[in-house]
Structure 1
Amino acid sequence: MIRNAFILVLLCFFGCNQNQSPSKDTESTSVINTDYLDYSGKDDQFTGGIKMIPIETPKGEFNVWTKRVGNNPKIKVLLLHGGPGFTHEIYECFDGYFPQEGIEYYYYDQLGSYYSDQPKDLSLWKLDRFVEEVEQVRVALGLNKDNFYLMGQSWGGILGMQYALKYQDNLKGLIISNMVASIEDYNTYSSEVLAPKLPKEVLETIMEYEEKEDYTNEEYLTLVMEHYYPKHVLRMPLEEWPEPVNRSVKHMNPDVYITMQGPSEFGIKGNANLLQWNVKDRLKAIKVPTLTIGATHDTMDPEHMKWISTEVQNGRFLLCPDGSHLSQFDDQKVYFEGVIDFIKDVDAGEI
């Protein structure tokens, strides 16, 4: 029932604008070394870079989907999508920036997401199990401390931090995009800073549904979509949201999302598995070069992301002043310039 109601309302908003013109950016780009897109002799040439990687879990073996783009033995970026339960598709704009910089990168649908296996056992949707999944993916892809950059956004940022706290010796660099280090702080920012910015009557109606835990009510979802998402998730009119974002929403797995994040769009509540997550007092243990990315209009407090960069041993902060939670789209130039500069500086030993 939750699946049907949630997907139905999302599709009403995101399914109407699938044909958008490609970017007409005419800026000059660097010439790519011909080896970058040469897949000859690679074990994934037949599939154009796609690999289904077997993952061992407490509930048996499953397969997760990955796709490699490019060749660069020194720089390999594994992308951890948000959600939980969304897909790599929300990162597809990276195709417009990473190849021209010669950066090798990997799309990856976590277990339960659309292009990977989707087991129905809810006990699999736990943070520690996802950490072990990422480690298995790393090993299968041959990534190591000399070339491995882990980049996670939103839920992917939680997963990235948790992975680094256990396996940072395997990393060359860590990028935490649009995610704070404490769910309690996220909830406080949502309720005390962002919610009061809504029109009074809209907030009152939303809170009525929140109090009744009527999260699948169409009016509740409509108000969230019309008044909250275009200001703090992706700062564009809903009908102009990019096609990869709409596709990721369409492919979202509500079982994973609700089990870990909960049903509310105003913080993590109820019995969600991530409700008590907090690594603020452990950040000082992260020694690998780390970039944190915040955005002025984000669902997460940008000052908290800036603070994370000062807590880790070797941090840098990037602010996207015009961005929100998906700042790779609504403040794209700033976002990618900062990410690429960080990767290149780490590669050059300057950070």
Structure 2
Amino acid sequence: MTTLTEYLDYSNAPDQLTGGVRRIPISTPKGEFSVWIKRVGNNPKIRLLLLHGGPGATHELYECFDGYLPTEGIEYIYYDQLDSYYSDQPRDPDLWTIEHFVDEVEQVRQALGLNPDNFFLYGQSWGGMLALEYALAHQQHLKGLIISNMVSDVQGYNRYAREVLGPQMDPAVFAEIRQLEANEDYENPRYEELLMQHHYTEHVLRMPLDEWPDSILRTFKHLNKDLYVHMQGHSEFGMTPNATLGRWNRSADLPKIQVPTLTIGAAHDTMDPKHMEWMAGQVQHGRYLHCPNGSHLSQYDDRQHFFPGLVQFLRNVDDGKF
């Protein structure tokens, strides 16, 4: 068990002066760049690398982890992917691919010295897609995998948005959203207004907009919209058809995942929680964590279930009791 003194000790570490912040060089076919990371704490057995959503969002999505994981002695590492706000931004769409981001995560892993004795990978939303893709390519380096608030089939995500969540809205609102989408009028301010008031506050973060945490407001402010639209589309209300992730489907590959895996779903999520539960049964060693009060950002709106479940998984895997 790591003591509090050991956990907080940054002495003689290369990132002591910066409080855990450093930049990691990344090699790409388009040149050399760097990405921003911040390490919090020391734990040689549990090192949790955080993959943010978007694509094109930031590590700020996870700032609430500071209020929960240090007391558990868990080391975690914030990380802004290339072209996200705190990292280099070459803004080259040729790099906006799953293959690039998987390779980037692997370069980050190597730079940080993460290995099967300590490397837990957490991804939420797009980060969950990336975590799954990384595991399919490099699971020999993992100790555990966490896929949060992301299904394994984009078409299932789209169906859930259109057939389940949409009809829960006021019919006039849902009809107006569908019409704006049919017209591809995504830049119309009315489109964002409708989604923020009737979808995001119900299924992305279940708080009134004026109560959203500053970390989430900064994430939206810092979003790389070009990257987001290119890969995901124009909103969290399903993927836009021409987005590059629009046909992504890894459901058939889930049984290949051998490492202990936690999937996290929420009752009010943009993703179908039943699908998240199904995924836990498809991998070889899976567990499902349900957040009954949560939505897409359940670390904020159902932290009472999210953090105890996440910590228990990390502890169980570390103790060999998973």
Could you tell me the percent identity over the aligned residues?
Answer: 61
Aligned to 2:204: 233
Question: Which residue is equivalent to 1:206?
Answer: 177
The worse-fitting range, judged by mean Cα deviation, of 256-265 and 202-211 is: 256-265
Which residue of 2 is the match for residue 280 of structure 1? 251
User: How much has 1:153 moved relative to structure 2?
Assistant: 0.3
User: Which residue does the alignment assign to 2:270?
Assistant: 299
Counterpart among 92, 99, 111 of residue 140 in structure 1:
111
TM-score normalised over the length of structure 2: 0.98
Residue matched to 1:266: 237
Q: Structure 1 residue 47 and structure 2 residue 47: aligned? A: no
Structure 2 gap ranges (5+): none
Partner residue in 2 for 1:69: 40
Shift in alpha-carbon separation, 1:62–1:321, aligned structure 2, 3 A: same
Q: Counterpart amino acid of 1:173?
A: G
| Aligned match of 2:134 | 163
* Aligned mates of 1:211, 1:150 — CA distance in 2: 38
Which residue in 1 is equivalent to 2:228?
Answer: 257
Q: What amino acid sits opposite 1:190 in the alignment?
A: A
Cα distance, 1:256 vs. partner?
1.0
Query: Residue in 2 aligned with 1:223?
Result: 194
Shift of 1:123: 1.3
Write the letter of the residue equivalent to 2:13.
K
The amino acid across from 1:44 in the alignment is D
Structure 1 counterpart SS, 2:7: coil
Question: How far apart, in 2, do the equivalents of 1:130 and 1:31 lie?
Answer: 32
SS for the counterpart of 2:179 is helix
2:145 equivalent in structure 1: 174
- Whether 1:97 aligns to 2:92 is no
Task: Give the Å deviation of 1:266.
Answer: 2.1
- 1:114 aligned onto 2:85: yes
Whether the 8 Å contact between 1:122 and 1:255 is mirrored in structure 2 is: no
- Quick one: which amino acid aligns to residue 200 of structure 1? P
How far apart, in 2, do the equivalents of 1:133 and 1:273 lie?
Answer: 18
Contact kept, 8 Å, 2:42 with 2:74, in 1: the verdict is yes
- Structure 1 letter corresponding to 2:36: W
SS across alignment from 2:5:
coil
Per-residue Cα deviation, 1:20-68 (whole angstroms, up to 9, x for no partner): xxxxxxxxxx995211111001111121111100101121111100000
The one-letter code matched in structure 2 to 1:350 is K
Amino acid of the residue matched to residue 105 of structure 1? Y
Instruction: Please point out which of 260, 266, 283 is paired with 1:289.
Output: 260
Superposition RMSD in Å: 1.1
AA partner of residue 274 (structure 2): E
Distance 2:271 2:254 in 1: 18
CA distance in structure 1 between the partners assigned to 2:204 and 2:234 by the alignment: 16
2:311 matched to 1:311? no
State which drifts further: 167-176 or 265-274.
Answer: 265-274
Task: Tell me if structure 1 keeps the 8 A contact 2:2–2:73.
Answer: no
Separation in 1, partners of 2:6, 2:35:
27
1:66–1:31: structure 2 CA closer, same or farther, 3 Å change rule?
closer
Q: How far 1:264 sits from its partner (Å)? A: 4.0
**TM-score with structure 1 length normalisation?**
0.90
Cα drift, residue 271 of structure 1: 1.8
Alignment partner of 2:308 out of 337, 340, 345? 337
Residue 58 of structure 2: aligned partner = 87
Unmatched 5+ stretches in structure 1 = 1-29
1:243-254 paired onto structure 2 within 5 Å = 243-254=214-225
Asked whether 1:187 is paired with 2:158, we answer: yes
> Distance between the aligned counterparts of 2:247 and 2:195, measured in 1?
24
Give the secondary-structure state (helix, strand or coil) at the position aligned to 1:85. Answer: coil
Deviation at 1:276, TM superposition (A): 1.0
How many residue pairs are counted as aligned between the two chains?
A: 322
Shift of 1:270: 2.9
* Number of the residue aligned with 1:196: 167
